[in-house]
Amino acid sequence: MLRNIMSVVIGVIIAAALFSLAALIMLLTIASKVKGHGEESDLDGISKVFDVVSFLVIFTCCFIGGYITGRISTKKDMIHGAITGIVLIVLLAYASDFDKSTEAIIYYVVILPFTLIGTLMAVRVKKRKKLI
């Protein structure tokens, strides 16, 4: 039972740490592109790129967190993956002050399937190892 609880905790921590690292890298990239204040900076040209990159980073981190959860848990892997996804949704909502914009809602809705896909991949790997 303790291992199953720890699988969720570790999956969430890994996903949050990877996202924080990616956010730091993106912040440093943005800071290096800024030339001045207001109209002098050219952030409009790279804002769409950073939207797409942040979208991909969030879901990659959720996939990896779900995968780690699935690899560590002993029973009912998909339930633990779902719990990991729900915790990640709550953390993202809290970090964005429970933003209700269309983009934020898309993030909230799609995090759970990506986490569950990562958990499913871990379950498949565990089943293959049992067969061998």
CA gap 95, 104 in Å, rounded: 11
Confidence of residue 48 (pLDDT cuts 50, 70, 90): confident
Q: Is residue 126's pLDDT more than 90?
A: no
pLDDT tens column, 3-18: 889 999 999 999 999 9
Q: What is the mean pLDDT of residues 84-97?
A: 91
Confidence of residue 62 (pLDDT cuts 50, 70, 90): very high
pLDDT recorded at residue 10: 94
Stronger pLDDT, 4 or 39, i.e. the higher one: 4
Q: How would you class 27 by CB atoms within 10 Å of its CB: exposed for 0-12, middle for 13-18, buried for 19 or more? A: exposed
Q: Is residue 39's pLDDT more than 60?
A: no
Residues of the chain with pLDDT > 90, as a percent, come to: 46
How far are the Cα atoms of 31, 93, 111, 115 from residue 105, in angstroms, in the given order? 27, 9, 10, 16
Average pLDDT, the chain: 86
